[in-house]
Structure 1
Amino acid sequence: MSADFAQHPQIKVVNNFQDLVNTRFQAKNNALCWQREPQGDFQEIVAKLTLEDDITEVSTEDLLALDLTEQGQLARVIILEDMKLLTEMGAQPVLNLLKCYERDDEFDFISTDVYSFHVDRSSIETDTFLCTYYGAASDLIANDQVEQKILIPEIRAKLYELYDGPEAGFNNFLSEYYFDLHYQPLPHAQPINLGIGHLWRLAVDHPHQDVLPCVHRAPVENEGEYRLLLIC
C-alpha cells in the first residue's frame, strides 16, 4: 500500500519530474515528492555491485557493466533515467552504495552526523534531491515538531564551555561546526519515512529561501543490508 504523503501539510505530491522541479515551496510545504512505484529488481543491482568502502560511489559505467536479468535491467533503466533528468536540469546526482555513514561520537551531549535530524545549508539557491531505491529509507519531520539543539539550555551551556571564546564569536562557532543545523524531536513528534522508489526534493537553508528548510535524517541501516541511494 502506498503511503499517503499528501495528508502532511509540509509535503506536496506531484506526478512527474517537471512538476517536482518547477513547483515552488510555500507556507508549510518544504518537501516535494514524485510518488511512484518503480518496476524492477533493485536488490539484484545491489547484490552485483562491489562495496569498496562504507560508502561507494556507483558510476553510470559501473551500472552498465552489470550482467542483469530482465527485472534487474528494468531497475537499471529507472536509475539511469533519474540521473539523466537531474543532470540535464543542472544538478550533479551521485548514486551511492551504502553500508553506513560515519558516526559523530566526539561529544556525548550533541551529535552532528547525518543520523541526527538536520537541515542542509548552501550559500547558493539549491535544493536537495534524493531517492532510496533499496534498503532503509530516510525520514523527515515537521519543523514545529523539533527544537534546534543549540537552544536546549543544557546543550547550549556545554557548547559555551566547549567554545571558551569571546561572546561575539559564539554564533559563528555554532555555524562553523554545524551545531546549528541539528534538531531534537519533541516528545509528540511523528517522523515521516520517505519510502522506497520515490524521488524527493527537500528545501535547503540558503539566502533566497522563502520557507523553512526541511528537517530530515539518514536511517539506521537494516542489519546485513546495504542501501542504494541517489542524492544531489
Structure 2
Amino acid sequence: MTNTLTDNNQIKVISSFSELINTNFQGEINALCWSRSLAGDFKEIVNKLELKENITEVSVDDLLALQLSEHGNFAREIILKDIQLLTDFGASPSLNLLKSYERDDELDFISTDVYSYHIDRSPIETDTFLCTYHGAASDILPNDQVEQKILIPEIREKLKKLHDGTEAEFETFLEEYFFDLHYQAKPNAKPVNLGLGHLWRLAVDHPTQQVLPCVHRAPAENEGEYRLLLIC
C-alpha cells in the first residue's frame, strides 16, 4: 500500500525552488517536495540519449546536442533550468540515464545496495536533492515505519559471526561497511512514491541535522524502460 504526498507527516509540499532551499526541516518533516506537473516529452530525450553503461552521466553538452521536437525541447529546457538552479545554489547536480544500479548479493541476510531502504550520511551539512523525469521513481518511508537492520537480532548475530572481533570494533565494522545505514520496512509500512517531475529535498544524517534522516530506496526499474534522474 502506498501513501500520498498530502497524508504523510514527514513530507512538506511547497511551491517554488526558493521555498525548497529555504524551508527548514523540523519535527517529523524530513522530506520537502516542490510539487510540479511538467510539460514536455522526457521520453523523447531518454530515447535519443546513448546508454554507455548501466549508469550513464549525461552532461549539459550531451543534452544540447540532441535534435528534439518542440515537446522534447520543452523537457530539455526544464532539465537545464533545474541543473542551473541547483548549481547556483552550490550543489553539484548529476543527470543520470539509468538502466540499473549494481546489486549487492554477497550476503543472503542483508543487502547494502540502493534498492534496500537506507539513509544518506555526510560529514558536512548537506541534503539530497532528486527529481525523476522518466521511468520508475524512488520510495520513502516514515522513520517510525522502519527498523534499523543491524538491530534485528538474527541479522546482528550473523554480522557478529562475520566480524569475529570485539564489541567496540564491531560498531566500527558496521559503519565501515555501511550496514548501519540500511533499514527494513515494518509490517504494514506505507511507502510514499516520489513520483515524476517533483523536485525533492531529503534530510541526510550529518552532525548538525536537527531531524531524523529520510529513509528511501531506489525502485525496481520498469521492464525495458530507462530512468532519467537528476540527483545531488
TM range (shorter): over 0.9
Matched, 1:57 2:57: yes
Give the whole-Å Cα distance in 1 for the aligned partners of 2:176 and 2:91. 25
Matched, 1:44 2:44: yes
Q: Residue 16 of structure 1 aligns with which residue?
A: 16
Equivalent residues in 2 for 1:200-215 (5 A)? 200-215=200-215
Question: What's the offset of the Cα at 1:4?
Answer: 4.7
1:153-191 residue CA offsets vs partner (Å, 9 max, x unmatched) = 000000000111122111111000000000000001011
Q: Secondary structure at the match of 2:157?
A: helix
Moved over 6 A (4+): none
The one-letter code sitting in structure 2 at the alignment partner of 1:158 is K
* Segment of structure 1 superposing worse, 192-201 or 159-168: 159-168
Q: Residue 160 of structure 1 aligns with which residue?
A: 160
Q: Residue 182 of structure 2 aligns with which residue?
A: 182
Matched, 1:79 2:79: yes
Give the whole-Å Cα distance in 2 for the aligned partners of 1:167 and 1:114. 27
How many aligned residue pairs are there?
230
Matched, 1:126 2:149: no
Give the whole-Å Cα distance in 2 for the aligned partners of 1:101 and 1:4. 26
1:20-63 residue CA offsets vs partner (Å, 9 max, x unmatched) = 00100000000000000010000000000000000000000000
Q: Residue 172 of structure 1 aligns with which residue?
A: 172
Q: Residue 33 of structure 1 aligns with which residue?
A: 33
Give the whole-Å Cα distance in 1 for the aligned partners of 2:156 and 2:186. 17
Matched, 1:94 2:116: no
Q: Residue 142 of structure 2 aligns with which residue?
A: 142
Stretches of structure 1 that go unaligned for 5 or more consecutive residues are none
Q: Secondary structure at the match of 2:56?
A: strand
Give the whole-Å Cα distance in 2 for the aligned partners of 1:7 and 1:188. 16
Q: TM-score, normalised by structure 1?
A: 0.98
- How many percent identity over aligned positions? 70
1:101-122 residue CA offsets vs partner (Å, 9 max, x unmatched) = 0000000000000000000000
Preserved CA contact (<8 Å) 2:4 2:192: no
Q: Secondary structure at the match of 1:25?
A: coil
Question: What's the offset of the Cα at 1:6?
Answer: 2.5
Q: Residue 70 of structure 2 aligns with which residue?
A: 70
